[in-house]
Amino acid sequence: MAERTLNGEVYYPAEDIVSNSNVPDRAAVTQAAESDLAGFWNQIAEENYEWFEPWHTTLDSSEAPFFKWFVGAKTNIVHNALDRHIKTWRRNKVALIWEGEPGDRRTLTYHQLHRQVGRMASVLRAMGVRKGDRVTIYMGRVPEIVIAMLACAKLGAIHSVVYGGFSVEALHGRIEDSHSKVAITCDGAWLRGNIVPLKDIMDEALHRSPTVQNVIVVKRTGQEVHMEPGRDLWYHDLLNLPIADPYCETEVMDAEDPLFILYTSGTTGRPKAILHTHGGYMVGTSTTLRTVFDIKEDDVWWCAADPGWITGHSYIVYAPLILGATSLMYEGAPTHPFPDRWWKLVEEHGVTILYTAPTAIRGLMRFGESWPERHDLSSLRLLGSVGEPINPEAWRWYHRVIGKERAPIMDTWWQTETGNFMITPMPETPLKPGSASLAFPGVKLDVVDEEGDPVPANEEGYLVITTPWPAMMRTLFGDPDRYVSTYWERFSKDGEWIYMTGDSAKRDEDGYIWVIGRVDDVIKVSGYRLGTAEIESALVSHPTVAEAGVIGVPDELKGNIIKAYCILRQGIEPTAKLADTLREHVGYEVGPIAKPATVEFVNSLPKTRSGKIMRRVLRARALGQDEGDLSTLQPD
Smaller CB separation from ligand WTA, 97 or 161? 161
Nearest to 315 by CA among 404, 385, 248, 249: 385
Which residues on neighbouring strands pair with residue 193, listed in sequence order? Answer: none
Residue closer to ligand WTA (CB basis): 145 or 390: 390
Is 524 among the residues that bind ligand WTA (CB under 6 A)?
yes
386 binds ligand WTA (CB under 6 A): yes
431 SS3 class? strand
Does position 387 interact with ligand WTA (CB under 6 A)? The reply is yes
Shortest distance, position 445 Cβ to ligand WTA, whole Å: 13
Contact 558, 364 (CB under 8 A): no
Q: What share of the chain is helix, strand, coil (3-state, %, to 5)?
A: 30, 25, 45
Do residues 315 and 307 make contact, with C-beta atoms less than 8 angstroms apart?
no
Between 55 and 398, whose beta carbon lies closer to ligand WTA?
398
HEC assignment per residue over 229-250:
CCCEEEHHHHHCCCCCCCCCCC
Contact 467, 35 (CB under 8 A): no
Nearer to ligand WTA, 136 or 501 (CB): 501
Interacting stretch for ligand WTA, rule CB under 6 A, among 99-107, 158-166, 238-246, 498-506? 498-506
* Contact by Cβ (8 Å): 86, 111: yes
Contact (CB, 8 A) for 347 and 317:
no
Strands 258-264 and 57-60: unpaired
Torsion of CA 370, 371, 377, 380, to 10 degrees: -110
Contact between 415 and ligand WTA by CB under 6 A: the answer reads yes
Residue 172 within binding range of ligand WTA, rule CB under 6 A = no
CB burial of residue 576 (10 Å; 0-12, 13-18, 19+): exposed
Do 342 and 541 meet the contact criterion of CB atoms below 8 Å apart? no
> Which of 76, 264, 288, 486 is in the footprint of ligand WTA by CB under 6 A?
264
The helix or strand, by DSSP H or E, that contains position 110, with its residue range, turns out to be: helix 110-126
Answer yes or no whether residue 533 interacts with ligand WTA by CB under 6 A: no
Selected from 258, 307, 332, 502, the binder of ligand WTA by CB under 6 A is 502
Cβ(424)–Cβ(412) below 8 Å:
yes
CB atoms within 10 A of CB 373: 11
Question: Reduced to 3 states, what is the DSSP secondary structure of residue 507?
Answer: strand
Which C-beta is closer to ligand WTA: that of 129 or that of 515? 515
Stretch that binds ligand WTA, among 3-11, 246-254, 515-523, 541-549 (CB under 6 A): 515-523
> Is residue 596 close enough to count as binding ligand WTA by CB under 6 A?
no
Phi/psi of residue 480, each to 5°? -60, -30
Is 258:280 a contact under the CB 8 Å cutoff? no
Residue number with CB closer to ligand WTA (433 or 441): 433
Supply the minimum distance, in Å, between the C-beta of residue 86 and ligand WTA: 30
413 sits near ligand WTA (criterion: CB under 6 A): yes
Site string for ligand WTA, 360-379 (x = CB under 6 A): --------------------
State the distance between the two ends of the chain, measured CA to CA, in whole angstroms.
Answer: 63
From 288, 416, 486, 560, residue interacting with ligand WTA (rule: CB under 6 A) = 416
> By Cβ distance, which residue is nearest to ligand WTA?
416
The residue among 232 and 503 lying less far from ligand WTA, judged by its C-beta, is 503
Nearer CB in complex with ligand WTA: 118/559 = 559
Burial code (b: 16+ CB inside 10 Å, e: under 16) for 150-184 equals: bbbbbbbbbbbbbbbbbbbbbbbbbbbbbebbbbb
Number of residues in contact with ligand WTA under rule CB under 6 A = 24
Q: Which is nearer to ligand WTA, 288 or 352 (CB)?
A: 288
SS (H, E, C) 484-501: HHHHCCCCCECCECCEEE
Q: Which of 199, 362, 529, 542 binds ligand WTA (CB under 6 A)?
A: 529
Q: Cβ 224 to ligand WTA, closest distance in Å? A: 35
Is residue 328 a contact residue for ligand WTA (CB under 6 A)? Answer: no
In whole angstroms, how close is the CB of 506 to ligand WTA at the nearest point?
12
- Please give the helix or strand (H or E) that residue 449 lies within, else none: none
Q: Least CB distance from residue 418 to ligand WTA, whole Å?
A: 8
Q: Minimal distance in Å, beta carbon 389 to ligand WTA?
A: 4
Query: Interface with ligand WTA by CB under 6 A: which range of 41-49, 111-119, 514-522, 612-620?
Result: 514-522
521 binds ligand WTA (CB under 6 A): no
CB of 161 to ligand WTA, least distance (A): 13
Q: Of 79 and 529, which CB lies nearer to ligand WTA in the complex structure?
A: 529
Question: x-or-dash pattern for ligand WTA, window 432-471, by CB under 6 A?
Answer: ----x-----------------------------------
* Binder of ligand WTA out of 331, 411, 534, 536 (CB under 6 A): 411
SS3 397: helix
- How far is it, in rounded angstroms, from Cα 56 to Cα 65? 20
Q: What angle do CA 580, 166, 196 make, to 5 degrees?
A: 85
Largest CA distance in the chain: 72
Query: What residue ranges bind ligand WTA (CB under 6 A)?
Result: 264, 309-311, 385-389, 411-416, 436, 501-503, 515, 517-518, 524, 529
